[in-house]
Amino acid sequence: MQMLTGDPPNLMDGALGTELERRGLPIEEQGWSAMALQQHGVIVQSIHEDYLRAGSVIHIVNSFALARHVLKPVGLAERLEWMNRQSVNLFDRAVSATGLDRNGLWAAGSISTFSANSDRSKLPKSRELLKNYQEQAGVLVDAGVDLFALEMLFDVDLSLTMLEAVEPFGLPLILGLTCEWDREGNKDQVVTRSLDGVSRSLGEVLNELLGCCRHHKIIPAIMHSDIDVTHAALGILRQQFNAPVAAYPNSGSFSNLRMNFDSVCSPREFANASIDWIQEGVSIVGGCCGIGPKHIAELRTRLISK
């Protein structure tokens, strides 16, 4: 854990799903990036290789959409174990292809709130959800991940279910909260939006979530949030959590789950924001949707030159 959060800051990779789309692969609405494991493993591996060459040491494998409740609607439930293992294997192959030392790298198993068609109203009830997350976590651990990345967290009860699922495995975890500006009340307030659509202040959610959490190896993160929202949210997070934190923002706009790449920030803009966060004490920086290998490489170059 100390190696993971120590000085100098550790670079995480960037997006995988939108990077697949950038390289010409169709993104399925129901299964998102999961479908690429079926026929396009070479491209998934090549993306990992590009992030390795860019300088990332923390890599989130392509398991974001591989829980049973995501795979079952697209007829792939029986492939759950193979697909989760394959997501880790492709990262390991990328490490071998680049000649890097696997011992100096971290493979994070992504477990997320994604559901078919990105419609969270289709998520199972809590007991079934817990069982599904435990199943996926067990396969990922057996395949060799070093930590978990719990992603797209916004609802306290759902987040606690995910924490309960991974806690028995004892691995470090990144607790990835997704935020937005309050569209209804205080326009300068950062909020999360629960499953029932109710907005709650990030500070309130953090207080409740971290107060209930028994896991001693947590790195809270602001992820899949616009850069300006991320900046404000990190200030709130660091006020309430006196320990290492992480940031991996997104950039760009979506239309029907398709990324508008012309709206993505430049590598320089991403690096400028990231350096500000690092100077304020953020330990891990990477990117989510829209952020690619060029963004990570620019940040690494800027950090080396300082």
pLDDT at 209: 86
Instruction: Dump pLDDT digits (tens) for 14-27.
Output: 999 899 989 988 76
Q: Where does 91-198 show beta strands of DSSP type E?
A: 106-112, 147-153, 173-177, 180-181, 190-193
- The reply to whether 245 falls in a domain is yes
pLDDT at 289: 94
pLDDT at 28: 65
- The reply to whether 97 falls in a domain is yes
Q: What percent of the chain has pLDDT over 70?
A: 92
Interatomic CA distance for residues 125 and 166, integer angstroms: 17
Residue 185 has pLDDT above 70, yes or no: no
pLDDT at 8: 64
Residue 129: domain span? 2-176+202-305
- The reply to whether 53 falls in a domain is yes
- The reply to whether 187 falls in a domain is no
pLDDT at 275: 97
Interatomic CA distance for residues 299 and 152, integer angstroms: 24
The CATH number covering residue 282 comes to: 3.20.20.330
- The reply to whether 146 falls in a domain is yes
The mean pLDDT value for 57-67 works out to 96
Please tell me which residue, 191 or 245, carries the higher pLDDT value.
245
Interatomic CA distance for residues 69 and 76, integer angstroms: 10
- The reply to whether 139 falls in a domain is yes
Question: Is residue 107 exposed (0-12), middle (13-18) or buried (19+ Cβ within 10 Å)?
Answer: buried
Instruction: Dump pLDDT digits (tens) for 127-142.
Output: 999 999 999 999 999 9
- The reply to whether 122 falls in a domain is yes
Number of domains present in the structure of the chain:
1
Interatomic CA distance for residues 64 and 273, integer angstroms: 25
Please tell me which residue, 187 or 294, carries the higher pLDDT value.
294
> Do residues 67 and 111 lie in contact, with contact meaning Cβ atoms separated by under 8 Å?
yes
- The reply to whether 169 falls in a domain is yes
